[in-house]
A and B are shown apart, each in its own frame.
Chain A
Amino acid sequence: MITSVFLIPILFIISSVFLGFSDNFYHLYENLLLEYSLNSIYLVAGVSLLVTILGVSTAWLVTFFNFYGKRFFQWALILPLAVPPYLLAYVFTEFFDFSGTANNILRDLFTTQSDVIFFPNIRTIIGAIIVFGFTLYPYVYMVSRVAFMNIPASVIEASSLLGKNSISTFFSLSIPLIRPAIIAGVALVAMETLADFGAVQHFAIPTFTTGIFRTWTGLYDLNTALQLSTMLLLVIFIFLSVERASRSKIRYVNSVTTSNSYKPIQLMRFKSAAAFFVCFIPVFIGFFLPVLELINWSSQVDTLVSTKIFLAASNTLYISLSAAVLTCFIALLINFVVRTFGISQLLNDLLSLGYAVPGLILAVGITKMFTSVDAWLINYGTFITGSILGLILAYIIKSYAISNIVLNSALNSIPIALDESAQTLGASKLKLLRDIHIPILKTGLLTAFLLVIAELIKELPATLILRPFNFDTLSVSVYLLASEERMFEAAFPGLVIIFFGLIPIYFLNKLILSNNK
């Protein structure tokens, strides 16, 4: 039953292509579809290139070299993951604006006239590529770093003995060896880029997601919006397949290698400064710049926490906590059932697909599903469309994969012999879950819970569409304030979102460090 609830919204979306195409669809097909497609292609291509350069180069530096600040950068390079792309987009827009901080600093520095503009308009596709590139490169950094660490020291040493220097070894040996990891990371970034709504909407770049939103809320044509969603979903699933295929190759590479005991090379003076600079730029642009600018903006607001923001924060906590508890409970139950009753892991894989479905599309699918249910419920004088249920369902479907990854690996670390011992001691399945699994999984459950909350707090598109009337969350407040150009007021809730985004960073960092050990 849970599987059906998870999959029905997606099936509703796909089924739209069998319901005929309206005039709106043909209008979009003739006038806008090419623009949506080309913009999406440019965006994905540009972002992929940028994240590869940033992610791989920084991972290579912190793995194979010692330089000033390396210990800090090892974990700080993941920090931009805490900043949702839409927040960096807002900061960039204001920061590089005619009267923004960047132009003001340079005008003061060069004592030029107040109408001189140093930075071009950032609300372009190049600007969007920079925003996505600097917030999403940690995906490539993390997988590349782990893959670099798994290259046996003997392989790198053999390359040196054959006369290759570090740079030559990097291009001819290290990169080909970790290629599956890079592809997996880039595929994830491509999926995130295609699924994004907030940043491209703010930059007014027509892409599939903004097109879906406009078709639905502007043309009021849900079916055409669903048909556009199907096209995007198809592309997302291609990237998902690429990511999964590459990931299986990473496992293969890792399984045949031994742990790396490679001694990093000490970089001196200029080289050390250059390495510092290469690592500093992405961390600064992706994390410190938005955080500092948001703090700066917050300081210029008289009332930091207005009643509206306080309500939005409590709504956010209430909805995220409820969804996180439910998600972890469902993930725990399903993993327990899969383990205890020997059901195929395919069930978990199916349920985890939700993370790849863009929030906007999921929201469209859930709305369609709920309106169908309402057609039946109306006989009983009630309806569920527009209720909190839709949002909670969207959150559960989106975040199931995260809690599943954590709980599945935690559960797998419990030897099956413990379950069997409990059984031979007369324990029922319920007792096994309650008295053995749950106490042992306490840390895993807490980790999953925190990771889900961190993910949900920054979720924007599904929240924007599915929230009940007069129910704002922090991400929605930031979006609405930013769309009204009230950036200073949007700053504090933005900072709170970043603060919660730091939770998964802590766990990811621990994971990478344990891999290193």
Chain B
Amino acid sequence: MKEFLKVKNINLSFDSKEILKGLNLIIDEGNFVAITGASGSGKTSLLRVICGLESPSQGEIILDNSLLFSREISVPTEKRNIGLVIQEKVLFPHLSAIQNIEFGISSKKDKQNLSGEIMERLNITQLAEMYPHELSGGESQRVALARSVVMRPKLLMLDEPFTGLDKDLKQKIYPEIKSILRASKITALMVTHDLNEVKALADKCFNLESGQLTEL
């Protein structure tokens, strides 16, 4: 299988504290990779580096043969085509669920087709006109996921996306997500501390410790 995401020798420090030390990661196309690790080990920082929200001091990031980051180049976040779903409530509060999902789509025609399709697949069509404050935690997360997936990102990153959801809901969501990602051929990288989540979703799992990854 094709090496889709290549993260090479990444270093990241905050106030002289080294978070990532020469970290390397390769993800094959279409794979779902999970990263676990203790709190503060740098899992979220790694995702932020990959999508361009943090700048590492050295290293290279290549996605689908395009150089996203090196010493000379840094492609801005909005041009990387990487989706990020996080645990926090990040739906735009002044937009309805459907407006949130359509936010990143520029063509009017695509807006209706793509948002309708993804909402149907995630079973959230009935939430279309509701505003974020009217949604439950699980509903919000599904809308956030739809908002990212509808963009057909090259890489979808999920940062502890299911924390706070009850067990039954999680069991319902896991297969839905897996099937959507597989159908859309989206490569995914998830950060979690829940081993059940890893078992249910991931093809491969790494542990992040002392700024480096080890395959489990």
A contact set with B: CB distance below 8 Å: 415, 417-418, 420-428, 435-436, 439-440
Contact = CB atoms under 8 A, between A and B. Distances in A.
B109 interface: no
Given A420-B77, A421-B144, 20 more contacts: A417-B88, A420-B84, A420-B90, A421-B84, A421-B90, A423-B52, A423-B76, A423-B78, A424-B53, A424-B80, A424-B83, A425-B103, A425-B104, A425-B148, A425-B151, A426-B78, A426-B79, A426-B81, A428-B78, A440-B93
B92 A424 contact: no
A418 B103 contact: no
A421 B148 CA distance: 9
Contacts of B144: 421
B25 to A, nearest CB: 19
A425 B86 CA distance: 13
A415 B90 CA distance: 8
B103 A435 contact: yes
A413 B54 CA distance: 22
Nearest to A423: B77
25 contacts: A415-B89, A418-B92, A421-B147, A422-B92, A423-B77, A423-B78, A424-B51, A424-B77, A424-B78, A424-B82, A425-B78, A425-B147, A425-B148, A426-B78, A426-B79, A426-B81, A426-B104, A427-B78, A427-B104, A428-B78, A436-B92, A439-B94, A440-B92, A440-B93, A440-B94
A424 B93 CA distance: 17
A345 B52 CA distance: 23
A427 B81 CA distance: 11
Contacts of B76: 423
B151 to A, nearest CB: 6
Interface string B20-45: 00000000000000000000000000
Interface residues of B, number: 25
A418 B90 CA distance: 5
Contacts of B104: 425-427
Contacts of B103: 422, 425, 427, 435
B42 to A, nearest CB: 17
Interface in B119-170: 144, 147-148, 151
A435 B106 CA distance: 13
B39 to A, nearest CB: 18
A406 B35 CA distance: 41
Interface in B60-103: 76-84, 86, 88-90, 92-94, 103
Interface of B: 51-53, 76-84, 86, 88-90, 92-94, 103-104, 144, 147-148, 151
B53 A415 contact: no
Contacts of B84: 420-421, 424
Contacts of A422: 92, 103
A428 to B, nearest CB: 6
Contacts of A428: 78
Contact of A417 (B78, B81, B86, B94): B86
A428 B76 CA distance: 10
A511 to B, nearest CB: 22
A498 to B, nearest CB: 35
A426 B52 CA distance: 12
A424 B148 contact: yes
B172 to A, nearest CB: 24
Given A418-B90, A435-B103, A426 B151 contact: yes
8 closest cross-chain pairs (CB), A and B:
A425-B104, A423-B77, A421-B90, A424-B84, A439-B94, A417-B90, A426-B78, A423-B78
A427 B78 CA distance: 6
Given A425-B151, A426-B104, A428-B78, A415 B88 contact: yes
A3 to B, nearest CB: 26
A415 B147 CA distance: 18
Contacts of A421: 84, 86, 90, 92, 144, 147
B53 A423 contact: yes
Given A425-B104, A426-B104, A426-B151, A420 B53 contact: yes
B80 to A, nearest CB: 8
A418 B103 CA distance: 12
Contacts of B93: 440
A424 B77 CA distance: 6
Nearest to A427: B78
A427 B79 CA distance: 9
Nearest to B106: A426
Nearest to A440: B94
Contacts of A420: 53, 77, 84, 90
Nearest to B77: A423
Contacts of B92: 418, 421-422, 436, 440
A33 to B, nearest CB: 51
User: Considering residues A422, A424, A427, which has the most beta carbons from chain B within 10 angstroms of its beta carbon?
Assistant: A424
A415 to B, nearest CB: 7
A485 B147 CA distance: 68
A233 B53 CA distance: 43
Nearest to B93: A440
A76 to B, nearest CB: 35
A23 B99 CA distance: 71
A435 B51 CA distance: 22
A452 B116 CA distance: 45
Contacts of B83: 424-425
A478 B186 CA distance: 70
A197 to B, nearest CB: 44
B77 to A, nearest CB: 4
Contacts of B81: 426
A436 B132 CA distance: 14
Contacts of B86: 417, 421
A424 B78 CA distance: 5
Contacts of A417: 86, 88, 90
A440 B91 CA distance: 12
Contacts of B147: 421, 425
Contacts of B77: 420, 423-424
Contacts of A435: 103
Contacts of A426: 78-79, 81, 104, 151
Nearest to B157: A424
A462 B151 CA distance: 54
B185 to A, nearest CB: 19
A501 B51 CA distance: 49
Contacts of B79: 426
B34 to A, nearest CB: 19
Contacts of B51: 424
B66 to A, nearest CB: 15
Contacts of A425: 78, 83, 103-104, 147-148, 151
